[in-house]
Amino acid sequence: MKPAQEHFKALIDSFWHKDEKIPMASIEGLERIIEGTASAGQLLNHLNDTNAHRALFENKVDKEDGKGLSSNDYTDEEKRTNETNAKKRVVGLTVTGDVTKTLTITLADGETIQATFDDKDTLPENVADIKLNSLMFDKGTGVLTGQRSDGTPLTVNLDGRYALIDHTHSWKDIKDKPAVERREEQGVVHYDIDGIGRITVLEERALLEKIQRRTMAIEVNSSTTLNSQNVGRVLKSTSSSDITIDLSEMPNNALLSVVKAEVGNITFTGKTIIGDSSITGAKGSTASLLIHGDEVIVNVNNR
């Protein structure tokens, strides 16, 4: 009998395509196989539980206090050896012999262990007998020579470790010196030394000019703002009209003196003024100022 069309449909329907998911209910015996299997959550909890096998370990291993291993981890021979070695306590140590030395170690059970060695550096009976009969130093060569009382000569070459008398070295004589870069800015010389840092030097001319500037009054003829460069200076006003001196940039604890050399009045601003805020007297009037934080203490002497 030839298969009918229904037989072909049943045959085709009995196959699963490779990309088609098979329902678990269609797999015979699967439910029985996974029955009683722990879930993924239970497995993770078990892995993270540090006490999961504690009871098993406690029942399996008979631990000994003070040891990291169980007595079951040692063979009977190893146990006997460990017990024997534990009783081998050193109770004595002696060294005998002249040139050839003998080291004897005595154990608590009476057993002795010996080892021999040679004395390679025998000192005289009295070390004080070794004296230095002579000691000379050649300042030209840098060689130190001497002789011990037993006739042994001594020679030490100290050349290169110090500066010899009557000999001078220049910077060019020094070997393996760090690189140095020289830069000059307005009379100030900067030496940048590799691995060390920067050394700043004022040339004599620039230093004299700086000292001269510090000892001369600062002349102003118009309103101006003072800063840290003006600390401790004398300010001379040569303006015939009124001017304003702004002190907002002056640092704390700074001192300043002001002299009125012309008829123009001088007014101080920029901070809270304690005392007179201006010089209104004739030529020769002066004022002393002290910067105190955000305040300026002013003492005016008007003529």
Structural contact between residues 204 and 183, judged by C-beta atoms closer than 8 angstroms: no
| pLDDT bucket at 49, cuts 50 / 70 / 90 | confident
Q: Does the model's pTM come out above 0.85?
A: no
At residue 160, the pLDDT reads 56
- In the predicted model, what is the mean pLDDT of residues 169-197? 73
At residue 46, the pLDDT reads 79
Cα distances (Å, whole numbers) of residue 137 to 149, 152, 169, 245, 291: 18, 17, 20, 71, 65
User: Taking every pair of C-alpha atoms in the chain, what is the biggest distance, in angstroms?
Assistant: 145
pLDDT higher at 123 or 268: 268
User: Regarding the domain delimited by 217-301, which CATH topology (the fold level of the hierarchy) does it fall under?
Assistant: Jelly Rolls (2.60.120)
Candidates 255, 261, 256; CA nearest to 281 is 261
At residue 298, the pLDDT reads 94
Candidates 259, 225, 214; CA nearest to 239 is 259
Burial environment of residue 103 by CB neighbours within 10 A (0 to 12, 13 to 18, 19 or more) = middle
Candidates 278, 226, 220, 214; CA nearest to 254 is 226
Domain boundaries, the chain: 69-112, 132-160, 180-209, 217-301
pLDDT higher at 270 or 131: 270
DSSP secondary structure code for residue 296 in this structure: E
pLDDT tens column, 217-273:
889 989 999 998 888 889 999 999 999 999 999 999 999 999 999 999 999 999 999
Between CA 43 and CA 47, with CA 44 as vertex, the angle to 5 degrees is 90
